[in-house]
Chain A
Amino acid sequence: MARPWERLLEQLVHERYGMLVGWATLVCGSREDAQDLLQDALMATFSSRARFTTLPEAEQYVRRAVATRSIDAARRRGRERTAFATIAGHAPAPAPGVEGHHLPADVVRALAGLAPRERACVVLRHLEDLSVRETAGLLGISEGAVKRYTSDGVAQLDATLGGVTATPSESMTVQPVRRGGAPTEVPER
């Protein structure tokens, strides 16, 4: 008789495998590596101490595991600087007049041009909708680093694809040192 985790894994694979591969592709920047990365994440998820009772719980854990392991995987391959330098040097020019209609392959290629932590922060913050604090905790980096990686990552996507911006989700008011004038509200980048 199949154990509960086996039944849940089967259901997850049957119903959500395609979307999880899509998620892994975005996170690691490579369709070729995505399935391997997802394989590792599934293995880690279902061999961990956590025992899931619902499909969404299991899927969310797998998505988190994909994100954290993508950085380990990139370090292991030693491609962090190499890929960034390579892709950045060959970044395609933004397609003129095609706002909002970037091809998936172009987006994946653009993401591949980011450093692993930049890519992880962009995807976790802007697709998974994690907060700065949650992202920092998941990746084991400071909140300041999350903001920096996210900002740099979005800027790089804009440079590569053109016409990409991040909707401010958190803003802070700064008090510049100057004579007179109202405080300037600076959206989070």
Chain B
Amino acid sequence: MASIRTETIRRLGAINHVTVYRQAVLAFNYLFLGLLAVTVVHPMIWLLYTSLKTGQELFANAWALPEIPQWENYARAWTRANVGRYFFNSLFVTTVSLAGSLLVCSMAGYILSRYEFRGRQIVFFGFISTMMIPSFLGLIPLWFLIRNMGLLGTYTALIPVYIANSIPFSIFFLAAFYKTISYELEEAAIIDGCTNYGVFFRIILPLTKSGLLTIGIFNFLGFWNEFTTALVLITKDVWKTLPLGISTLLIESKYRIDWGALYAGLVIALIPTLVVYIVFQGKLTKGISIGALKG
């Protein structure tokens, strides 16, 4: 949008201190943004090409490019360093938790936002009130609970825990989304003989696809990246999720002196996040922005 003032000045052919000022600000903006973008992008690029170096090249010059790409680093990271194992653990836990979370939260959110009943406000508030409490508060009792159930050490217990973790925000988000659907639709369906369940599954749910997608992406990332609860509940290496695995990898590379595999492992961990982000970043950023303005 050309400003009225600068346009007028330009047409009159005069150079004005205002135009110079604006040019300077623009130049500064580009420089600032550019430098910042470099600090974000360059570490990733460095990670990528360093993962293709031999051990010696790594120690020789951090800045230089590899001579011959060492794709074996990736094979070793996947198998010997267990990154493949960690990857599949995370994939399993994340997808199952996501499915569970979408189901549980869409059902609960629907009732809480579109049904009238006594105690509705209290229940709703109860669900979202713990959003602000740090998860550390419940960590010890949770550890005990899972241990008593005999599920300590594997990732199985993570699934219900992750679903439970997602409840406050997901219900909060979905409830707002559900409110935007017109009630006449439901009423018409009921008059036509549709059951309550039918109304939900056949009419409401298809209409909320967009909201479910947004909260789904959000939760996917949350589950995929979760660290602390997994740390406490998983004890054996073979059950670790990717974030835990990365931490283990960082430590163990010292003993194995296989730095190439470490860098490769990190790239392997980076790729799914990058892919999901690039594909869904539109929906994700839009969802966050909308959430911000509502809250």
Tell whether A and B belong to one assembly. no
Question: Which residues on A are within 8 Å of B, measured CB to CB?
Answer: none
